Structure 1
Amino acid sequence: MPEATHYKNSTDDTLVALYRKEGSLDVAGELYNRYMPLVYGVCLKYLKDREESRDAVMQLFEKLVTVLREHEVANFKSWLYVTARNHCLMQLRAQKSRQQKEIPGFLMENALATHPEEAPETEANLNKLEKCIETLAPEQKQCVQLFYLKQLCYKEIVLATGFEDNRVKSYIQNGKRNLKICMEQHG
């Protein structure tokens, strides 16, 4: 096994092949050290926060040590760039979805208790929602009801419906979008 100083003269392809063969963290560490500034720059470009970018770099290194052993990588630098970009985009999507309200305010349990003067409006919104749910395609309707009303997770919906996992996600996403459009049109 070469010493860590010999890794500096090795090509990325050689290091990737060596890492896939032996799983040495020294080899992965050399790849990490070579491209950490690139990865940090990509993360900073997308996340626009130094601390989040540092965390993302560490998460990517943790991901790198497992993914590199499982996948064939032809051009390490390009692959790492795309992997870093995708990681950041997924983080941004996750942040955005946490910020957006999954359930409209009029469906909150305490909406009537907090704003009793809005009770007629809440009732009207619930009626609109029920009518809009009825307009959904049967698969969307079933998945939306199971996910939002019965609060089942994706796997439970897959088992209950027999739909594939990606179909369930698609039905829920499209159903949610169609409900929003319907609610806005009948608002």
Structure 2
Amino acid sequence: MKLFSKRKQPDQAGDADLLQQYRQSGDLAVLGRLYEQYMPLVYGVCLKYLQDEEQSKDAVMQIFEELVIKVTRHEIKEFRPWLYVLSRNYCLMQLRTNKKMETLSLEEVMESPFVLHPDDNDEHKINQLEDCLKKLTPAQQQSIQIFYLQEKSYKEVAEHTGYSLNEVKSYIQNGKRNLKICLENNRER
């Protein structure tokens, strides 16, 4: 599929027919024909939000993969505006996922001069961190381990644990705070 092939304007009446055909048959070629008409739109949305050509091209393909499932789960009155919102939401989630990298990592907490003495050895730091992790609630432990150690996004943690997105964010934030307090208390001893 080419991103910038010159095409006539999509036929919105035909969109509903192609959606119905795909839902009945599950034939990816049918969904591909529908999506191909809107790839320039999706690419433009992704470029607007992600501001990176290569990431935007990748996003176009990943959004198609999401379509395979989502068009069967949602009632879609008009495909074009629905696809626009799906594309925008996908990009916003990507930006949030990337932004999580900017949050304080466990390594930064461990290395913080306010938390540990500079002459502490690595094994001692790891032992302190493990002891403090054990003092967290099970939900905080699980969320923090998946988020930081497995480097998953909030959404992926929620999917893995079954907690809501807000619960995951709360568990991570509170768990991180509790870890820092615990590590500071260990330092004072």
TM-score by length of 1: 0.61
Kindly tell me: are residues 13 and 143 of structure 1, through their superposed partners in 2, closer, same or farther at Cα, counting changes over 3 Å?
A: same
Out of 140, 143, 146, the position equivalent to 2:139 is 143
In 1, the alpha carbon distance for the partners of 2:100 and 2:21 equals 40
**AA matched with 1:118:** P
Number of matched residues? Answer: 154
How has the CA–CA distance of structure 1 residues 107 and 148 changed in structure 2, closer, same or farther, with 3 Å as cutoff?
Answer: farther
Residues 9-48 of structure 1 mapped to structure 2, 5 A cutoff = 11-48=14-51
Deviation, structure 1 residue 54: 0.3
In 2: Cα distance, 1:18 partner to 1:53 partner: 28
Q: How does 1:12-161 map to 2 (within 5 A)?
A: 12-103=15-106, 105-108=108-111, 118-119=118-119, 143-145=139-141, 147-148=143-144
Structure 1, unaligned stretches of length 5 or more?
A: 1-7, 121-125, 135-139, 159-163, 183-187
Report the CA distance between 1:48 and its aligned residue.
0.3
Where in structure 2 are there 5+ consecutive unaligned residues? 1-9, 121-127, 182-189
Superposition deviation, residue 169 in structure 1: 1.2
Does the C-alpha gap of structure 1 residues 105 and 86 become closer, same or farther in structure 2, counting only changes over 3 Å? Answer: same
CA distance in 2, matches of 1:22, 1:90: 30
User: 2: CA distance between counterparts of 1:77 and 1:168?
Assistant: 33
- RMSD value, Cα: 4.3
- Give the structure, 1 or 2, with the largest relative contact order (CA under 8 Å, sep 6 or more): 2
Matches of 1:46 and 1:18 in 2, distance apart?
32
Shift of 1:71: 2.4
Tell whether the 8 Å contact from 1:144 to 1:176 is kept in structure 2 after alignment. Answer: yes
Write the letter of the residue equivalent to 1:88: C
- Residues 98-126 of structure 1: CA distance to partner in whole angstroms, max 9, x if unpaired? 24332152415xx89xxx97348xxxxx9
Contact 1:15 1:27 (C-alpha < 8 Å) held by counterparts: yes
Q: State the one-letter code of the partner of 1:70.
A: R
1:3 aligned partner: none
Q: TM-score, normalised by structure 2?
A: 0.61
| Pair 1:175–1:106, CA change in 2 (3 A) | closer
Give the 3 Å change call, closer, same or farther, for CA 148–59 of structure 1 in structure 2. Answer: closer
Contact 1:141-1:175 at 8 Å conserved across structures: no
> How far apart are residue 62 of structure 1 and its match?
1.6
